[in-house]
Amino acid sequence: MAKRKTQKKPDNLLAQNKKAGHDYTILDTYEAGVALTGTEIKSVRDGKIQLRDGFAQVRRGEVWLENVHISPYKQGNQFNVDPLRNRKLLLHKKEIKKLGDATATEGVTLVPLKVYLKHGFAKVLIGVAKGKHTYDKRESLKRKEQKRDIARALKEHR
Protein backbone atom coordinates (compact mmCIF):
# COMPACT_ATOMS: atom_id res chain seq x y z
CA MET A 1 0.00 0.00 0.00
CA ALA A 2 1.40 3.39 -1.02
CA LYS A 3 1.89 6.08 1.57
CA ARG A 4 -0.14 9.22 1.21
CA LYS A 5 1.66 12.51 1.07
CA THR A 6 0.14 14.77 3.68
CA GLN A 7 0.91 18.43 3.50
CA LYS A 8 1.85 19.55 6.99
CA LYS A 9 2.49 23.12 8.02
CA PRO A 10 6.03 23.80 9.21
CA ASP A 11 6.54 23.87 12.98
CA ASN A 12 7.35 27.57 12.97
CA LEU A 13 4.21 28.66 11.02
CA LEU A 14 1.62 29.89 13.53
CA ALA A 15 -1.08 31.49 11.36
CA GLN A 16 -1.78 32.04 7.68
CA ASN A 17 -4.21 34.35 5.89
CA LYS A 18 -5.47 32.11 3.09
CA LYS A 19 -8.22 34.55 2.14
CA ALA A 20 -5.65 37.23 1.24
CA GLY A 21 -4.52 35.33 -1.86
CA HIS A 22 -8.12 35.13 -3.03
CA ASP A 23 -9.08 38.75 -2.33
CA TYR A 24 -5.83 40.49 -3.31
CA THR A 25 -3.05 40.39 -5.85
CA ILE A 26 0.17 40.36 -3.83
CA LEU A 27 2.71 42.72 -5.39
CA ASP A 28 5.57 42.49 -2.88
CA THR A 29 6.27 41.01 0.57
CA TYR A 30 8.19 42.22 3.62
CA GLU A 31 9.15 40.44 6.84
CA ALA A 32 8.51 42.45 10.00
CA GLY A 33 8.90 41.85 13.69
CA VAL A 34 5.96 42.51 16.01
CA ALA A 35 6.07 44.38 19.33
CA LEU A 36 4.12 42.08 21.68
CA THR A 37 3.64 41.91 25.43
CA GLY A 38 4.67 38.85 27.45
CA THR A 39 1.24 37.24 27.56
CA GLU A 40 0.61 37.99 23.87
CA ILE A 41 3.70 36.11 22.70
CA LYS A 42 2.68 33.12 24.79
CA SER A 43 -0.74 33.17 23.18
CA VAL A 44 0.79 33.53 19.70
CA ARG A 45 3.07 30.55 20.34
CA ASP A 46 -0.07 28.55 21.18
CA GLY A 47 -1.45 29.55 17.75
CA LYS A 48 -4.27 31.71 19.14
CA ILE A 49 -4.03 34.39 16.45
CA GLN A 50 -6.36 35.31 13.56
CA LEU A 51 -5.20 37.33 10.55
CA ARG A 52 -8.39 37.20 8.47
CA ASP A 53 -9.55 40.83 8.77
CA GLY A 54 -6.17 42.32 9.61
CA PHE A 55 -4.32 45.07 7.78
CA ALA A 56 -1.35 47.36 8.34
CA GLN A 57 -1.02 51.14 8.05
CA VAL A 58 1.89 53.53 7.88
CA ARG A 59 1.35 56.42 10.32
CA ARG A 60 3.91 59.06 11.30
CA GLY A 61 6.90 57.00 10.19
CA GLU A 62 5.72 53.81 11.92
CA VAL A 63 3.87 50.75 10.66
CA TRP A 64 0.95 49.48 12.75
CA LEU A 65 -0.79 46.11 12.53
CA GLU A 66 -4.51 46.57 13.05
CA ASN A 67 -7.56 44.36 13.52
CA VAL A 68 -5.53 41.20 14.19
CA HIS A 69 -7.05 39.16 17.00
CA ILE A 70 -4.71 37.56 19.56
CA SER A 71 -6.72 35.68 22.17
CA PRO A 72 -5.94 36.45 25.82
CA TYR A 73 -3.54 34.00 27.45
CA LYS A 74 -5.45 31.71 29.82
CA GLN A 75 -2.93 31.93 32.67
CA GLY A 76 -2.31 35.64 32.10
CA ASN A 77 -4.57 37.28 34.76
CA GLN A 78 -4.21 41.12 34.94
CA PHE A 79 -1.35 41.22 32.40
CA ASN A 80 -3.63 40.36 29.46
CA VAL A 81 -4.29 43.22 27.05
CA ASP A 82 -7.05 44.01 24.55
CA PRO A 83 -7.14 41.23 21.91
CA LEU A 84 -7.70 43.71 19.04
CA ARG A 85 -5.22 46.40 20.05
CA ASN A 86 -2.94 47.95 17.43
CA ARG A 87 0.55 46.46 17.42
CA LYS A 88 3.69 48.14 16.17
CA LEU A 89 5.62 46.41 13.39
CA LEU A 90 9.40 46.58 13.49
CA LEU A 91 10.97 47.47 10.14
CA HIS A 92 13.94 49.46 8.88
CA LYS A 93 13.33 53.10 7.95
CA LYS A 94 14.00 52.43 4.26
CA GLU A 95 11.39 49.66 4.26
CA ILE A 96 8.86 51.89 6.02
CA LYS A 97 9.45 54.59 3.39
CA LYS A 98 8.91 52.06 0.58
CA LEU A 99 5.70 50.84 2.21
CA GLY A 100 4.48 54.41 2.67
CA ASP A 101 5.15 55.19 -0.99
CA ALA A 102 3.44 51.98 -2.12
CA THR A 103 0.29 52.58 -0.06
CA ALA A 104 0.05 56.19 -1.31
CA THR A 105 -1.20 54.68 -4.58
CA GLU A 106 -4.96 54.25 -4.63
CA GLY A 107 -6.22 50.68 -4.20
CA VAL A 108 -3.00 49.39 -2.60
CA THR A 109 -3.00 48.15 1.00
CA LEU A 110 -0.81 46.19 3.40
CA VAL A 111 -2.12 42.75 4.34
CA PRO A 112 -0.63 40.30 6.86
CA LEU A 113 -0.05 36.96 5.09
CA LYS A 114 1.66 34.74 7.69
CA VAL A 115 2.81 34.77 11.29
CA TYR A 116 5.73 32.51 12.19
CA LEU A 117 8.57 32.12 14.64
CA LYS A 118 12.13 32.87 13.57
CA HIS A 119 14.91 32.37 16.13
CA GLY A 120 12.30 32.60 18.90
CA PHE A 121 10.79 35.89 17.72
CA ALA A 122 7.34 36.33 16.16
CA LYS A 123 7.55 37.61 12.59
CA VAL A 124 4.78 38.76 10.24
CA LEU A 125 5.00 38.46 6.48
CA ILE A 126 3.29 41.58 5.11
CA GLY A 127 2.13 41.77 1.52
CA VAL A 128 1.74 44.95 -0.50
CA ALA A 129 -1.55 44.06 -2.12
CA LYS A 130 -3.98 45.41 -4.67
CA GLY A 131 -7.63 44.42 -4.33
CA LYS A 132 -9.18 42.11 -6.92
CA HIS A 133 -12.52 42.68 -8.60
CA THR A 134 -15.11 39.90 -8.55
CA TYR A 135 -14.38 38.98 -12.16
CA ASP A 136 -10.67 38.65 -11.33
CA LYS A 137 -11.56 36.31 -8.45
CA ARG A 138 -13.70 34.17 -10.77
CA GLU A 139 -10.88 34.06 -13.31
CA SER A 140 -8.32 32.93 -10.73
CA LEU A 141 -10.73 30.26 -9.43
CA LYS A 142 -11.24 29.03 -13.01
CA ARG A 143 -7.47 28.81 -13.60
CA LYS A 144 -7.00 26.97 -10.32
CA GLU A 145 -9.69 24.46 -11.27
CA GLN A 146 -8.16 23.96 -14.72
CA LYS A 147 -4.74 23.24 -13.18
CA ARG A 148 -6.35 20.73 -10.84
CA ASP A 149 -8.10 19.00 -13.78
CA ILE A 150 -4.84 18.83 -15.77
CA ALA A 151 -2.96 17.38 -12.78
CA ARG A 152 -5.72 14.81 -12.28
CA ALA A 153 -5.66 13.83 -15.97
CA LEU A 154 -1.87 13.47 -15.96
CA LYS A 155 -2.05 11.33 -12.83
CA GLU A 156 -4.65 9.01 -14.39
CA HIS A 157 -2.63 8.79 -17.62
CA ARG A 158 0.42 7.31 -15.86
Residues contacting 67, CB < 8 A, separation 6+: 53, 54, 55, 84
Half-sphere exposure of residue 156: CA atoms within 13 angstroms, side-chain side: 6
Tell me the whole-structure pTM to 2 decimals: 0.75
Asked whether the beta carbons of 132 and 23 are under 8 A apart, the reply is yes
Range 13-46 burial, b when 16+ CB lie within 10 A, else e: ebbbbeebbeebeeeeebebebebbebbbbbbee
Return the pLDDT at 92.
93
pLDDT for position 51 = 86
- The residues with which 4 forms a beta bridge, in sequence order, are none
Q: Please, what are the averages of pLDDT over each run of 10 residues along the chain (158 residues)?
A: 52 83 85 86 84 88 88 76 83 91 87 89 90 79 89 84
pLDDT of residue 125: 92
All structural domains of the chain: 13-131 (2.40.280.10)
Say how far apart CA 49 and CA 69 lie, in whole Å.
Answer: 6
130 near 25, Cβ under 8 Å? yes
Terminal C-alpha separation, the chain: 17
pLDDT at residue 9 in the model: 52
